Every structure is written in structure tokens, then in C-alpha cells.
């Protein structure tokens, strides 16, 4: 009886919070139906984003064979995406906080979908190996530039449209779309790669990205365009003699830069992304070389199948823990412990495995642990800077994108020098532990600006 009463109290508390928020700020938060619609739309967007991003790691072995690349050249192509990805993180968050992520997301998506679709045509512009490599590197940089707008934009959307008690689950659900996209590429992309060649994988994922963009434009954005214009005018027009609303003042970067919690966020995100990007970029190559007879659709699918439920579960668990009275700081650190320490443990274990099944299990668990990052550091900017979440996330993700080219490139060089996958995974695990220690000591879930 006591437990049922407590659950009823929690439900009543949520209803009163939502009702009070909507009374004070009518139309500020999504209704339950709008949250479902936009959640599904952005979930699919994350899937298409990662499908277009991961098609190159899927096909890099075939491309390397056709164009006679060594490991360093393959690593250059894989890592070049993140050279562009770092450039637009901050501007993506800033624009989304100012004009709305609903505007920024589809504009950027149009470019990264088209670039993906046209990649097979770009590689045959020249017959010179070096020119072909440079063209591919440039296309990957441009892909990164336009994809860099996505995560800061939807972070800004959620911080404005979802109440705090429901953000963890909403954010984790939308973020888990990235794992579906990787699964999508790993399964259907692998089948296309094996049966029709690497060109077909690029054409297919690029087309799917364009279809998603059109559906988002005409099913959600176009339908509510008038609503966005009205809300934008209401929020941004300032009457004579009035001050600019606090929500739209400049981000106090000087104050933020003095907070250790902000820097711990950057360090922790950097270290976790290093593990994720190394796995994302090199996992197909690892299995191709270590277990040549293994089926691509198996090792490109299994790790991402288990990561989708782990990501959604972490969001649900975080919201439940917060509603039960655990502090936001404790919840974020608990989730990040699973993400960073869990990934580190399973990465270290890979060096002691010799069978395909054991290696697949360890890598699947390592990637699944990464799913808890969405309820830890990834959502933390909305805790520490709720009115500037897009901008703060942009800075954090800019630093987090650096391992995409530095970490992936270094991994390629370590592999070239040592011929040891164990060395690659071990140094990645050490970086994870370092990030965990920093975030445990200095991280917080309290508002700091």
C-alpha cells in the first residue's frame, strides 16, 4: 500500500509540475502528442545521420583494396570527417538557441544527405590515387561540417521543449537513433556491400537521408510553421523600455570558463567519445582482419542491437532515480560510471580473447556501455546551463569531436607500428578511466550559469 501511495504521489507531482509550467508559459513545452511525434522524427533523424556517417567505416576495407591504401591512409579518410565536425558544433548550438533547432536541423540535413549520395561519383573524378584520396578527404570534411549542426540543435530543442523530469528518457530515446543508424548501415549496408558493391551502400543511405528530410519537412515542420513564427515573434520582440529576456542574453563564457564542472564535462566527453569513435571506425576492420571468415552482417549488427535498449533503459532509469529523490549530480555520475568504466573493462578484456564469439561479446558490451553516456554527460549541459544548453553542448561536442580525427588517426598509427589490436584497445581503455576520474571529482548536475 505504501509503495502504491508513493507511486501515486510521483504521478501527481509530475502532473502538477507540467500543469504549472504550461500555466506560467503556455505553449512553451511540447504536449504529450507533440513529444511523441518530434521524438520519433528526431530519433529517425539520428538514425539517418549515423547511417550516412558510418557507411564509410563499413566500406573502407573495400575502398582500401580498390585504391591500394595502407592503414595510415585509411585512418586519414576515416578521421577527416571529424576535422569538419569540430567546426560547426558551437555555431550549431548558438543558432539553435537563437532561431530554433527546428530550422537548423533540416537545412544541414539536406547537405549531408546529398554529399553521401554523390560520394561514389566523386572518387572517380581522377585516376590519380593521391587526388582520389584528397577528394574523399574533402568530402568527408564537408560531411562533418554539416552533420556538426545536428546534436547541438536537438539538444537546444529538448532543453526548451521538454520538462526537466522527462528530459533523460526523451534525450536517451532520441540519441539511441544513432545506434539504429549504425545498425541500419551494418545490416542492410553489409548486404548491399556483399552483393552489389560499396557504391550501392552510399547511394542507398544518401537516398534514405533525403527521404527522412522530406518527411520531417512536410509532416512536422510545415504543419506547425505558423506556430513557430508566432512563438518566435512573441519571444524575441522587446517592447520599448524593456530589457532583453534573460533566456536570450549572451552566454557568460568568462564565468563558465572558471567552473571546474564545465571542464570536467569536456574532459569526460572527450574520453568517452575517443572510445566510441575508435570502436565505430575500426571495429569492422578488426573483425575482417582477426576473423576473415566471419560474416559482416553479424559483427556490424550485434553490437548496435544491444546498444539501443541500453541507451533507452539508461534514460528511463535516470528519470526514475531523479523522481525517487536521488540528486541529479549522483544520477549523472552513476550513468557515466557505467559508460566509461564499463567500456574500459570490456576493451581491456578483448586483448585476452581469441575466439570470434568472445571478441564479439566484449565489443558488444563495450558499445552497450557507451549507451549510458546519453543519460550522463551528454545531457549534463541542460543541467548546468539550461538557458544556453545548445551553445554549451556545442563547445563540449567540439572538444568531443577531436578524438574522431586524433584518436582514430593515432589508433591507425599504433596498429601500423605494433600490428596489435590489443595495444589499440588498451590505450583506449586507459583514456576512459582518466575521463571517469576527472568527472567523478569535478562533475555536477546543479545549475552553474
Give the start-to-end residue ranges of the domains of the chain: 30-225, 259-448
pLDDT tens digits along 354-402: 899 999 999 999 999 999 999 999 999 989 998 888 889 999 988 988 8
The pLDDT of 230-251, averaged and rounded, is: 48
In CATH terms, 259-448 corresponds, of 3.40.50.11440, 3.60.15.10, 3.40.50.1950, 1.20.1250.20, to 1.20.1250.20
All three cell numbers of 321, joined, read: 532515480
Pick the more confident residue, 7 or 425: 425
- Residue identified by cell 503556455 is 26
**Which has the closest alpha carbon to 119: 52, 44, 209?**
52
- Exposure of 233 in the CB half-sphere (CA atoms within 13 A): 5
Q: Does residue 22 surpass a pLDDT of 70?
A: no
Are 252 and 395 spatial neighbours (Cβ–Cβ below 8 Å)? Answer: no
CATH H superfamily, domain 30-225:
MFS general substrate transporter like domains (1.20.1250.20)
CA 153 – CA 155 distance, rounded (Å):
5
The pLDDT of 81-93, averaged and rounded, is: 89
CA 425 – CA 415 distance, rounded (Å):
10
* Structure confidence at residue 449 as a pLDDT band (50, 70, 90): confident
pTM (2 d.p.): 0.77
- What count of other Cβ atoms lies within 10 Å of the Cβ of residue 65? 10
Residues 6 or more apart in contact with residue 140 via CB below 8 angstroms: 56, 77, 80, 81, 83, 84
Q: Does residue 428 surpass a pLDDT of 50?
A: yes
Span of 145-159, 258-272, 411-425 with lowest mean pLDDT? 411-425
DSSP string, 63-111: HHHHHT--HHHHHHHHHHHHHHHTTSHHHHHHHHHHH-HHHHHHHHHHH
All three cell numbers of 342, joined, read: 564499463
CA 137 – CA 78 distance, rounded (Å):
8
Q: Does residue 46 surpass a pLDDT of 90?
A: yes
The pLDDT of 129-147, averaged and rounded, is: 93
Amino acid at each position: 500500500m505504501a509503495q502504491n501511495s508513493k507511486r501515486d504521489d510521483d504521478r501527481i507531482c509530475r502532473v502538477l509540475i507540467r500543469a504549472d509550467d504550461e500555466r506560467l508559459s503556455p505553449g512553451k513545452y511540447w504536449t504529450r502528442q507533440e513529444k511523441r511525434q518530434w521524438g520519433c522524427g528526431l530519433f529517425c533523424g539520428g538514425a539517418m545521420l549515423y547511417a550516412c556517417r558510418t557507411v564509410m567505416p563499413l566500406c573502407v576495407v573495400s575502398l582500401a583494396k580498390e585504391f591500394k591504401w595502407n592503414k595510415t591512409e585509411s585512418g586519414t579518410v576515416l578521421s577527416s570527417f571529424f576535422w569538419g565536425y569540430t567546426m560547426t558544433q558551437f555555431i550549431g548550438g548558438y543558432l539553435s538557441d537563437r532561431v530554433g533547432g527546428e530550422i537548423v536541423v533540416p537545412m544541414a540535413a539536406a547537405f549531408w544527405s546529398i554529399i553521401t549520395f554523390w560520394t561514389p561519383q566523386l572518387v572517380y573524378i581522377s585516376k590519380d590515387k593521391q587526388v582520389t584520396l584528397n577528394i574523399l578527404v574533402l568530402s568527408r570534411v564537408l560531411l562533418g561540417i554539416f552533420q556538426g549542426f545536428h546534436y547541438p540543435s536537438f539538444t537546444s530543442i529538448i532543453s526548451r521543449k521538454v520538462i526537466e523530469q522527462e528530459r533523460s528518457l526523451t534525450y536517451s530515446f532520441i540519441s539511441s537513433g544513432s545506434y539504429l543508424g549504425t545498425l541500419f548501415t551494418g545490416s542492410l549496408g553489409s548486404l548491399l556491400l556483399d552483393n552489389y558493391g560499396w557504391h550501392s551502400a552510399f547511394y542507398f543511405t544518401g537516398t534514405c537521408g533525403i527521404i527522412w528530410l522530406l518527411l520531417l519537412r512536410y509532416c512536422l515542420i510545415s504543419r506547425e510553421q505558423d506556430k513557430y513564427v508566432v512563438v518566435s515573434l512573441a519571444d524575441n520582440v522587446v517592447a520599448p523600455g524593456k530589457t532583453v529576456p534573460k533566456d536570450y542574453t549572451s552566454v557568460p563564457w568568462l564565468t563558465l570558463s572558471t567552473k571546474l564542472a564545465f571542464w570536467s564535462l569536456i574532459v569526460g566527453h572527450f574520453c568517452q567519445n575517443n572510445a566510441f569513435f575508435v570502436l565505430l571506425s575500426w571495429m569492422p576492420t578488426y573483425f575482417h582482419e582477426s576473423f576473415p571468415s566471419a560474416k559482416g552482417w553479424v559483427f556490424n549488427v550485434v553490437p548496435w542491437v544491444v546498444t539501443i535498449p541500453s541507451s533507452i533503459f539508461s534514460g528511463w532509469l535516470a528519470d526514475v532515480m531523479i523522481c525517487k529523490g536521488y540528486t541529479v549530480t549522483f544520477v549523472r555520475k552513476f550513468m557515466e560510471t557505467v559508460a566509461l568504466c564499463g567500456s574500459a573493462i570490456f576493451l581491456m578484456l578483448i586483448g585476452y580473447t581469441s575466439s570470434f564469439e568472445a571478441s564479439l561479446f566484449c565489443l558488444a558490451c563495450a558499445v552497450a556501455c557507451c549507451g549510458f553516456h546519453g543519460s550522463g554527460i551528454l545531457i549534463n549541459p541542460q543541467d548546468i546551463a539550461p538557458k544556453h544548453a545548445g551553445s554549451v553542448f556545442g563547445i563540449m561536442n567540439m572538444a568531443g569531436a577531436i578524438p574522431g580525427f586524433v584518436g582514430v588517426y593515432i589508433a591507425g598509427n599504433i596498429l601500423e607500428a605494433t600490428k596489435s589490436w590489443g595495444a589499440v584497445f588498451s590505450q583506449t581503455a586507459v583514456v576512459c578511466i582518466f575521463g571517469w576520474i576527472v568527472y567523478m571529482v569535478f562533475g555536477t548536475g546543479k545549475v552553474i550559469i
